[in-house]
Amino acid sequence: MKCRHCQTPLEHVFLDLGFAPPSNAYLNKEQMQAPELYFPLKLFVCHQCWLVQTLDFTRADELFSADYAYFSSVSSSWLNHAKLYAEMIMKRLDLDQNSLVIEVASNDGYLLRNFVAAGIPCLGIEPTASTARAAREIGVPVLEEFFGEVLGQRLAKEGRQADLIAGNNVFAHVPDINDFTRGLKAALKPGGTITLEFPHLMQLIAYNQFDTVYHEHFSYLSLHTVERIFSSAGLRVCDVEELPTHGGSLRVYGCHENDARADAASVAALLAQEEAAGLHDLALYDTFQARANKVKDDFLSFLIAEKAAGRMVVAYGAAAKGNTLINYAGVKPDLLPYVYDAAASKQWKFMPGSHIPILPPSMITKLRPDSIVVLPWNIATEVKTQMAHTKEWGARFFTAVPEMMELP
């Protein structure tokens, strides 16, 4: 297998999580009677461009055949993050009724709704029918297509180049990252700005976030690698911010390579920080499997100890992260009988692989569990606040990553 960006043959395994079903393949009752598809879940690191990437395998399109259950607007903290970004970027780029904002992977309109409200023309690009429909219902125009060079060039030909192209948590999820980046280049107006947000590989390694690894998450990115990918498509990284979202993300600002604006000092500073952290050295990548295994072992030990002590443990949040952790640990309903989740689209279904049933959060008062493991640790505090009524019977909250611990 060759590197998806630079075509160098890949020799170095970064992480091997065995086999797992697609993390978003929630099962209904009928599907529970049928065979389930498992794919290798293995990451390589390219020693030329340092792109960390999932193993390629045939039938990858099957991962995307299901209509995803994920609606961005379910998370109130994510909605707030989107609103703050919209206010900031409208001001920074002086966007008005003559501008065009394109968002790639616009989901249910959680972000573009802010531009619609401000009277700024926008266009969402979203291949998933159910979320695209939800976006249209709140007045966000949507093209129901996959984004890449072909669509970017078509938008350019139609005179629909954008002043701003935003992409939140999509860059790491596209199988052909070079084609996607060429699409950004084609759809960007001269003088226009691209902003992309994605989890930062440096934080993934520093905080043992191996559970953010899943098949649909093709690339694990450093600023160094993104700069190389941009450069090969005729784009330039001109600014970067570190964000707390998803356990530590980057917001990269891009422009055409010949754009007049100078690079912000933050770009060189973060590149130096990545190098100092060892991101350009195979030794750092070699130690990660052992750290992932320790997190997995500690999670299992916790579940077994709680069970032995006669305490009931449940989980909160049927997110992709949880599926990676649970399936790698081999946990089944005997150790973790239920997962509670606020998304109606997941409730009364079963977690892929582990087959743990997913229930609405309101039902937690029936079971009154002693311990609740919050699987999406990035929103653990928000979840604990929402579930404050569990204090009534003294429930305790835990997270498993970066290590097994109780929430304060």
List contacts with Zn ion (CB under 5 A): 3, 5-6, 8, 46, 48-49, 51
Provide the total of helices (H) and of strands (E) in the chain, helices listed first.
Answer: 13, 17
Assess contact for 212 and 325: CB atoms under 8 A: no
Q: In whole angstroms, how close is the CB of 10 to Zn ion at the nearest point?
A: 8
Packing angle of the helix pair 177-187, 223-232 (nearest 10 deg):
60
User: Of 235 and 373, which has the nearer Cβ to Zn ion?
Assistant: 235
Q: Quote the least distance from Cβ 7 to Zn ion, whole Å.
A: 7
Question: Which residue number, 48 or 273, has a Cβ lying nearer to Zn ion?
Answer: 48
Dig out the tokens for 233 from the structure.
Answer: 């498509």
Closer residue to Zn ion in complex, CB, 8/287: 8
CB of 194 to Zn ion, least distance (A): 21
Residue with the two structure tokens 């690191």 = 45
103: nearest Cα among 175, 182, 194: 194
Closest to Zn ion by CB, 36 vs 286, is: 286
Nearer to Zn ion by Cβ, of 46 and 326: the residue is 46
| Whether the Cβ atoms of residue 51 and residue 3 lie closer than 8 Å to each other | yes
Q: How far is the CB of 2 from Zn ion (least distance, A)?
A: 8
| Pair of tokens at residue 286 | 């070699």
CB 153 within 8 A of CB 145: no
Phi-psi region of 2 (alpha: psi -120 to 50; beta: other; left: phi over 0): beta
Which conformational region is residue 173 in: left (phi greater than 0), alpha (psi within -120 to 50 degrees), or beta?
Answer: alpha
Question: What is the nearest approach in angstroms of Zn ion to the Cβ of residue 294?
Answer: 29
Tokens of 327: 């399936």
C-beta closer to Zn ion: residue 116 or 223 = 223
Q: Are strands 358-359 and 405-406 parallel, antiparallel or unpaired?
A: unpaired
Look up residue 304 and give its amino acid.
I
Both tokens of 395, joined, read 């429930």
44 or 338: whose CB is closer to Zn ion? 44
Structure token digits, residue 294: 């320790």
Q: Give the shortest CB-276-to-Zn ion separation in angstroms.
A: 21
| Helix, strand, or coil (residue 53) | strand
Cα–Cα distance for residue pair 59/357, rounded to 1 Å: 27
78 vs 171, which CB is nearer to Zn ion? 171
Shortest reach from residue 5's CB to Zn ion, in Å: 5
Shortest gap between Cβ of 46 and Zn ion (angstroms)?
A: 3
* Helix (H), strand (E) at residue 274: helix 265-276
Between 67 and 275, name the residue whose CB sits nearer to Zn ion. Answer: 275
The distance in angstroms from the start CA to the end CA of the chain is 45
**Cross-strand bridge partners of residue 42:** 16
CB 206 → Zn ion: shortest distance, Å? 22
Question: At residue 374, what is the residue type?
Answer: V
Q: Is the Cβ of residue 51 or residue 373 nearer to Zn ion in the bound state?
A: 51
